[in-house]
Amino acid sequence: MEYVFILLAIAILVSVLTGSVMYLLLGAAGLLFILSGLLVITFLICWGFLLTSKWKKARFLRVEPPSEKARYKVAYYLIEEREIPCLFPEEGIFRDKLYRTDKVYHVLFHKRLGRVFDRFAIATCTLGLICGIGLGTAILQMYF
């Protein structure tokens, strides 16, 4: 909460000292552009992991609640008699319909990470990369 007050104080000082709101808009656009760049870098790294992973058949086991290892709920899959967690959080909406124990799924297993990418993680990586590139492009088009 204190960060909001610091940003508000800086915004008021900039608008009073310069007499223009344009600098605030340019600063906000710059901040959004930097955040979209970080988003693109994050999902490019995830796509690097995806491209170096191998397709495996897996059976969904369960969703574990947050623990000291992970701060979010994680889906676990059974691959070759080993329980392996997904890299991304589980999808909380329609959990009964999306995660079924009676089906065999095809997941991408990254051996070095010891994690899998299920279909929802692959969709998250794809949509995150597209949204990050789209946001950065939109900001550049708006201001230049």
pLDDT single digits (tens) 67-82: 777 688 888 899 988 9
Which token pair is 105?
A: 């799924």
Q: Tell me the two tokens of residue 20.
A: 């223009």
- Pick from 124, 59, 61: nearest CA to 91: 124
Residue 86 carries which DSSP code?
A: B
Q: How many CB atoms lie within 10 A of CB 14?
A: 15
Residue 10's pLDDT is 82
Give the Cα separation of 125 and 45 in Å (integer): 10
| Both structure tokens of 137 | 């492009």
Q: What is the pLDDT of residues 118-128, one digit of tens each?
A: 988 999 999 99
Q: Name the pTM for this structure.
A: 0.77
Per-residue pLDDT reduced to its tens digit, 32-76 = 899 999 999 999 999 999 999 999 999 988 888 877 776 888 888
- Provide mean pLDDT across the span 4-25: 81
